[in-house]
Amino acid sequence: LANLKKDKWINLQLNICVLHDQLITKLCAHKFELANLERAHASQAMDQKTKSHVKKAVKQHAPGIEATVHKYNAKQKEMLKEDAYVPPELVMEGLFNLDVDQDIWENADMVDFEGGGIPLWLANKEVRDGIRVAQEVKSCQEELR
């Protein structure tokens, strides 16, 4: 156990997992605050003080999320130096939408893959893009029916 504490690779993996979890928690909290703000505007029942408080809370989430993304990407770049699977770098554009196609949701086990190799859908961006295009074509074909 003492040797594992000193293992740089394990520490990097744990750090990136913790940052990933923190980022998802912060993004969900941000989305929740935004939903409250939108409901408040829709109902017009809240007083001005409460509305400004909710707006301020929403704005306060963004810098923390950006800082966590930068830390995550820095750890990801450290992992690139090793010869193993590395989660994709996160970009701020569209991150607050929590879209299912965002890289934030990629949470593959970084330990072992069947056969010892990394699956193409995980390692190759072109394959992932091809899968998305194939899904879009299939959806379009279903809509035409």
Residue 100 and residue 43 share a domain: yes
Contact at 8 Å (CB) between 87 and 110?
yes
Same domain, 10 and 41: yes
Q: 20-78, pLDDT tens digit by residue?
A: 788 878 877 777 777 766 666 656 655 667 667 766 766 776 778 788 888 877 877 77
What does each C-alpha distance from 63 to 28, 54, 68, 115 come to in angstroms? 15, 16, 9, 41
Q: Amino acid identity, residue 129?
A: D
What pLDDT was estimated at residue 138?
92
**Same-domain pairing of 6 and 56:** yes
* Res 139 pLDDT > 80: yes
For residues 22 and 34, membership in a common domain is answered with yes
Residue 22: which domain range?
2-108
- Give the C-alpha separation, 64 to 29, whole Å: 12
Q: What is the pLDDT of residues 47-60, one digit of tens each?
A: 667 667 766 766 77
Closest CA to 20 of 140, 99, 107: 107
Both 120 and 103 in a single domain?
no
Q: Are residues 58 and 127 in the same domain?
A: no
- 90/105 Cα distance (integer angstroms): 10
Specify the pLDDT at position 126: 83
Are residues 40 and 95 part of one domain?
A: yes
Provide the number of structural domains found in the chain.
2
Same domain, 63 and 131: no
Token pair 């194939």 in the structure block, residue: 134
